[in-house]
Amino acid sequence: MSVNREVKRITTHVLQAMKAKGEKIAMLTAYDFSLAGIIDAGGIDIILVGDSASNVIHGHETTLPITLDQMIDHASAVVRAVSRALVVVDLPFGSYQGNSKLALESAIRIMKESGAHAVKLEGGAQVADSIRRILSAGIPVMGHLGLIPQSIYKFGTYAVRAKEDAEAVQLEEDAKLLQELGCFGMVLEKIPAHLAKKVSESLFIPTIGIGAGQDCDGQVLVTHDMLGINKEFSPRFLRRYADLYDTIKGAVEHYVKDVKASDFPNDQEQY
């Protein structure tokens, strides 16, 4: 029997047990009550209230514009819908970098105001002080290495990271540091599969991959991408499990047609 089916609520301890047993961890994003409830009912292990909401919900080009207040708003809605999954919330750009006191204040606000279970932040050694301070308050922290979207203007591209030896070595060092600091897990985004395998095997905390191959301890996708709601984003690592863009568009077109033809509502649909 799988570890995650033996529990009523997924916790960081459960995730650790899943890694130890070799059971893969499934993670998806959610930003609202309705979709979060469906995802939770589908048996997901972790729901990430990602700063990707900046793109898929608010229409920004990058993740940078979304605010802490907006993240708390999204997280609060998700938490109210979820009864089983672990809810992790991204600390948005500007809420933790270079200021560990601000990082702690941001993390506390997320936990108190949304009821979430953990926070996630991007980077390695450069954010170590922020991680230490957040953990000192008893708040679980998930790391994020590889492609870190909040630094897009620094790197200037969404290309695969850590292909060169020096960056690969740094990523391995950062992964070990995050574990030593006390992170309960980390996302590895868009790095070579062989490197993700090496890092995953070297750690006792779980790794969650996105564009990092099949040997991570789990996988994460943006739900709107996975369901085919967003058709403009088609990286190699994305597998679409539905085509909801066409389904929803077709339903809307059908509804418009029925309204225009006075076919809706019919006799059975009115009082």
Cβ atoms within 10 Å of 127's Cβ, excluding its own: 25
Neighbouring CB atoms inside 10 A of 63's CB total 21
189 classed as catalytic: yes
Beta-bridge partners for 188 = 145, 209
Cβ distance 98 to 58 under 8 Å?
no
Query: Exposed, middle or buried by CB within 10 Å (0-12, 13-18, 19+), for 186?
Result: buried
In angstroms, the CA 263 to CA 131 distance is: 59
Residues 6+ apart with CB under 8 A from 112: none
Cα–Cα distance between 34 and 68 in angstroms, integer? 21
- Cα distance between residue 246 and residue 78, in whole Å: 26
| CA–CA dist 147, 159 (Å, integer) | 8
Largest distance between two CA atoms of the chain: 71
Catalytic residue, chosen from 173, 189, 232, 269, is 189
Q: Which residues are known catalytic residues?
A: 189
